[in-house]
Amino acid sequence: MIIKCLLPTDKILEFDMNGQIDPTIYILKSFIYEKEKIPIDMQIIELNNKKLSQKHDKFKLKKFKVIESTNIRILYDLGGSCCECDLCGFGGGECVCQIL
């Protein structure tokens, strides 16, 4: 089965899962890391417009009924500060961004 994933840059990655026995979300993330060097803990997988948290990494793709036409997007977890906006990186009440 060929899995296609859309990156935020609109680049499409293709992975051949035929050699994998019951591949998991984590295996998919490791393939993404091998191709794009995006750290596994910073990847968010979105299946059919539903974001999967890291606790889903151990689940098999077949649990989510992933087939070749499944809409898979890769999002980035950029982390950030402890302030509410997570944009400026200051946090602790010292937020300097102008969005809020």
Instruction: Tell me the pLDDT tens digit for each residue of 37-54.
Output: 989 989 999 998 899 988
% the chain with pLDDT above 70: 78
Counting beta carbons within 10 angstroms of the beta carbon of residue 43, is it exposed (0 to 12), middle (13 to 18) or buried (19 or more)? buried
Other C-beta atoms lying within 10 Å of the C-beta of residue 85: 15
What is this structure's pTM? 0.74
Question: Confidence class of residue 81 from pLDDT cuts 50, 70 and 90?
Answer: very low
Q: Tell how far CA 37 is from the center of its chain.
A: 13
Sorted by where each begins, the domain ranges of the chain are 2-76
* The predicted structure's pLDDT at residue 33: 94
Would you call 45 exposed, middle or buried from its count of C-beta atoms within 10 A (0-12, 13-18, 19+)? buried
Residue 23 above 50 pLDDT?
yes
Provide the pLDDT for residue 28: 93
CATH architecture for the domain at 2-76: Roll (3.10)
